[in-house]
Amino acid sequence: MATHLAPRPFRVAIIGSGPAGVYAADILTKSQEVSGGDVHVSIDLFESQPAPYGLIRYGVAPDHPRIKGIMNALHKVLDRGDIRFFGNVTYGRDVTLSELRSFYDAIIFATGATKDAVLDIPGIELDGSYGGADFVSWYDGHPDVSREWPLTAKEIAVIGNGNVALDVARVLSKHADDLLTTEIPDNVYAGLLASPVTDVHVFGRRGPAQVKFTPLELRELSHSRDVDIVLYEEDFDFDEASDAAIKSNNQIKIMVNTLTNWLVEQDERDSKTPASRRLHLHFLHTPVEIIGTEGKVSGIRFERNELDGTGNVRGTGEFIDYPVQAVYRAVGYFGSELPEVGFDARRGIIPNDGGRVVDANGAQVPGLYATGWIKRGPVGLIGHTKGDALETIGCLLEDRSGLPVPERPGESEIVNLLESRGVEYTTWEGWSRLDAHEKDLGASFIPAPGLDIVRERVKVVDRDEMVKISRT
């Protein structure tokens, strides 16, 4: 096997420009080997969308207060000028693995997980049953998702007790005018404005001490105007494992205290004028069937659970039906298989050992790496991807002297290939133009009478329009 000895840049391609991909690029450029001058690295970042940032732009609720800070951090990395950005380039279609291997010494897959995990219960296929990830893509203005969303239900069930479930429930229950300060596209605002929703129910399988969301997500629920949070005393069950978790984990303690306080305070609140919308939080519920009438969702059936002493649950044999006209499953994300790369269909990841991609026999595939959710599965917060990237980059740097030498490592080769195929790729400079355009749209927004709203930006949805603005 040839080794990398030529006096040229060590060429690295990263597939995916979300946090995982950008963190990997940043850690590589700041590594001791690169910053110390032992390795001269050249990094190209590829993204299937015309705009960068992946999950931050298309996978997180627009009213999150911390998202702006993460976006600014990613922007600083890409704005340094030492990482090339190629947007609107789809791996496997616009460029193949064999072509990338002929241009680059190493390829890092950071494509994340964008599909909904499967919830295999009867009725899941009914009209009115939706994936939470699909809904997130809609309200975040993903260019590959329909502009329309059927927001016709008055009563809605959201299945899941993670951050995405709370995001979905909060956006569904929030008044559209209160989202105008975010970057939501005009079609999303119009859809939410016409929604007749009155009640959104969030169902978790275990108890209040076993929820998977974070204190910040939980507290954000109470910030929604004219939305009452409703809890149920029979759901507040704590076993020995729950008590131990509350005592040993400050985050769990905060969330349980917050929920318990809301439960106590709602008796006092009930004597006041009720809100026009309600967000119900249910625990100890396992979904068993979505009920349909004439092919459409008309209800959902749960089995009541009880804690078993270990923090896990068992069914009680008691079943409860709730009348709803829509069901959103938010039980997790799942990775997508990539062309010419192995895939673990059970875990939804690229098989790897510490970030080194391995084949079906467990042998390392030289030059291929993975990081982020496509490496370890969709668990943990955005910040956890830094640890992933650090491990993966460490492996890459250890391997670099033994990697196959690409046949055509020149930096112009990928540009020539994309242009020869008529791929309308976008650049970092193009993103700057699109970014400025979206801010101009926000500045020119004229609110309806009675609304004192200042919009920072309005997100552009149409892919062709995004590409045109970026490339003009």
CA dist 182 and 102 (Å) reads 43
pLDDT at 271: 61
Q: How confident is the model at residue 334 (pLDDT cuts 50, 70, 90)?
A: very high
CA dist 24 and 43 (Å) reads 10
pLDDT at 270: 60
Residue range 358-372: mean pLDDT, rounded: 96
Question: What residues have CB less than 8 Å from 119, skipping those under 6 apart?
Answer: 159, 287, 329, 331
Question: What residues have CB less than 8 Å from 415, skipping those under 6 apart?
Answer: none
The dihedral over CA atoms of 280, 286, 289, 292, expressed in degrees to the nearest 10, equals: 0
Residue type, 312: N
pLDDT at 43: 98
Of 169, 187, 136, 189, nearest to 277 (Cα)?
169
pLDDT at 456: 86
Model confidence over 302-332: pLDDT tens digits?
999 999 999 899 999 999 999 999 999 999 9
Report whether pLDDT(5) > 70.
no
Residue range 122-140: mean pLDDT, rounded: 97
CA dist 50 and 432 (Å) reads 12
Among the ranges given (164-168, 189-193, 448-452), the one the predictor scored with the smallest mean pLDDT: 448-452
Report whether pLDDT(20) > 70.
yes
Please report how many Cα atoms fall inside a 13 Å half-sphere around the Cα of residue 123, on the Cβ side: 23
pLDDT at 1: 43
Handedness of CA 432, 435, 440, 443 (dihedral sign): negative
Residue type, 282: H
CA dist 34 and 27 (Å) reads 10
3-state secondary structure the chain: CCCCCCCCCEEEEEECCCHHHHHHHHHHHHCHHHHCCCCCEEEEEECCCCCCCCHHHHCCCCCCCCHHHHHHHHHHHHCCCCEEEEECCCECCCECHHHHHHHCCEEEECCCCCEECCCCCCCCCCECEEEHHHHHHHHCCCCCCCCCCCCCCCEEEEECCCHHHHHHHHHHHCCHHHHCCCCCCHHHHHHHHCCCCCEEEEECCCCHHHCCCCHHHHHHHCCCCCEEEECCHHHCCCCHHHHHHHHHCHHHHHHHHHHHHHHHHHHHHCCCCCCCEEEEEECCEEEEEEEEECCEEEEEEEEEEEECCCCCEEEEEEEEEECCCEEEECCCEECCCCCCCCCECCCCECCEECCEEECCCCCEEEEEEECCHHHHCCCCCCCHHHHHHHHHHHHHHHHHHHCCCCCCCCCHHHHHHHHHCCCCCECHHHHHHHHHHHHHHHHCCCCCCCCCCCCCCCCCCCHHHHHHHHHC
Of 47, 126, 122, nearest to 88 (Cα)?
47
Q: How confident is the model at residue 384 (pLDDT cuts 50, 70, 90)?
A: confident
Whether the CB-CB separation of 130 and 124 falls below 8 Å is answered with no
Mean pLDDT rounded to a whole number for the chain: 94
Whether the CB-CB separation of 262 and 292 falls below 8 Å is answered with no
Residue range 166-181: mean pLDDT, rounded: 96
Question: What residues have CB less than 8 Å from 407, skipping those under 6 apart?
Answer: 102
pLDDT at 451: 82
What b-and-e string marks burial along 154-171, b requiring 16 or more CB atoms within 10 Å of the CB?
ebbbbbbbbbbbbbbbbb
pLDDT at 435: 97
Q: For the chain, how many residues are written? A: 472
Residue range 381-387: mean pLDDT, rounded: 80
Residue range 32-51: mean pLDDT, rounded: 96
Beta-ladder partners of 302: 287, 320
Residue range 9-35: mean pLDDT, rounded: 97
Whether the CB-CB separation of 94 and 50 falls below 8 Å is answered with no
Residue range 214-242: mean pLDDT, rounded: 93
Is the whole-model pTM more than 0.85?
yes
The dihedral over CA atoms of 144, 150, 153, 155, expressed in degrees to the nearest 10, equals: 0
Residue range 337-357: mean pLDDT, rounded: 96
pLDDT at 2: 46
Report whether pLDDT(94) > 80.
yes
Token pair for 186: 């005009």
Tell which wins on pLDDT, 372 or 269: 372
Report whether pLDDT(294) > 80.
yes
Residue range 122-127: mean pLDDT, rounded: 98
CA dist 353 and 357 (Å) reads 6
Whether the CB-CB separation of 95 and 417 falls below 8 Å is answered with yes
What does the radius of gyration of the chain's CA atoms come to, in whole angstroms?
Answer: 24
pLDDT at 73: 93
Quote the crossing angle between the two packed helices 240-248 and 250-269, to the nearest 10°.
110
